[in-house]
Amino acid sequence: MKKNKLFAVGIGPGGEEHMTQKALKVLEEADIIIGYTAYIELVKKIFPEKEYIATAMKKEIERCKIAVEQSLEGKTVAMVSSGDSGIYGMAGILLQLVNAQKEAIDFEVIPGVTAANAAAAILGAPLMHDFSVISLSDLMTPLDLIMKRVECSAEGDFVICLYNPKSKKRTDYITKAAEIVGKYRSENTPVGIVRNAGREDESSEIVSLKDIDKANIDMFTIVIIGNSQSYIENGKIITPRGYKL
Ligand code: SAH
């Protein structure tokens, strides 16, 4: 009998040590592994003998369609996303495509460590209280709505994690977001910036909100803006939860 098995696998932020046991097991059992070229290179190092299909960035729909087609041929297919596949990854579109098929596909999402908690661990403990996660990419979301979410999060005193903070075309959205947050929070609010968390060239810095423009931010970076209570101690950010020591 055909298996028609499809997994959306979050492979975590970087190397093998950040993958879950379950993700490794699913990749090991897959007949074919599909994903964006950079992530496929990473997985190839762990499972060199597998069959792979790598596609370029911005080819998400094409890539997902290939994954669905392959699973309909009876193969066990693993589609990899960095971090968690359900957070700005491929899980949603895969599920939509699976639902649109006449033939049943057994679909499963395997969670992974997302950039926000990988970065938080490097920065100290910035996510100890309520936080929001916002992507500054306006490829598929209107910029007004993105900035409204930034504003509401700032007003609600959420710690704010900004994914996709900057690209070659979008250079000033992070400045705009920081300005909005500055209406509600001190200019000295700690901001953690982590580039390539969990990867070989990982780097991080902590600046204050007013200096966000001086920081080195690109599309491999995640930015975490503290809430009104967050502070820096011994080079780490702490967002206190309210425990009395
Ligand atoms: N599914 C991924 C997010 C994909 S969106 C996840 O759960 O982590 C791509 C954005 O995620 C990047 O622009 C960057 O802001 C962030 N990101 C992903 N991996 C990262 C890493 N290792 N270090 C820092 N930021 C990362």
- Give the pLDDT confidence of 207-231 residue by residue, as tens digits: 999 999 999 999 999 999 999 999 9
Domain segments of the chain: what residues? 5-113, 116-238
- pLDDT score for 59: 81
φ, ψ of residue 183 in degrees (nearest 5): -70, -25
Higher pLDDT, 55 or 181: 181
Specify whether the CB–CB gap between 13 and 89 falls below 8 A. no
The fourth-level CATH superfamily of domain 5-113 is: Tetrapyrrole methylase, N-terminal domain (3.40.1010.10)
Q: Point out the ligand 1 atom lying closest to the alpha carbon of residue 14.
A: 22
128 Cα to the center of ligand 1, angstroms: 20
* CATH topology agreement for domains 5-113 and 116-238: no
74 Cα to the center of ligand 1, angstroms: 32
User: Strand pairing partners for 143?
Assistant: none
- Poorest-pLDDT segment among 106-110, 184-188, 228-232, 241-245: 241-245
- Which residue's CA is minimally distant from atom 13 of ligand 1? 164
- Which residue's CA is minimally distant from atom 26 of ligand 1? 115
> CA separation (Å) from 86 to 89, 109, 128, 142, 204?
5, 8, 22, 21, 25
- pTM metric for this prediction: 0.96
Q: Point out the ligand 1 atom lying closest to the alpha carbon of residue 223.
A: 15
Q: The tokens of 161 are what? A: 């994690």
Q: Cβ–Cβ contacts within 10 Å for residue 65, how many? A: 14
- pLDDT score for 93: 96
- CATH fold of 116-238, please? 3.30.950
Least Cα distance to 221 among 197, 198, 200 occurs for 197
Q: The tokens of 54 are what? A: 């790598």
| 1 confidence band (pLDDT: 50, 70, 90) | low
Tokens 């810095």, located at residue: 205
220 Cα to the center of ligand 1, angstroms: 7
- pLDDT score for 194: 98
CA 97 – CA 161 distance, rounded (Å): 29
**Parallel/antiparallel/unpaired status of strands 51-55 and 32-36:** parallel
Q: Is the CB of 199 under 6 A from ligand 1?
A: yes
Q: Is the CB of 136 under 6 A from ligand 1?
A: no
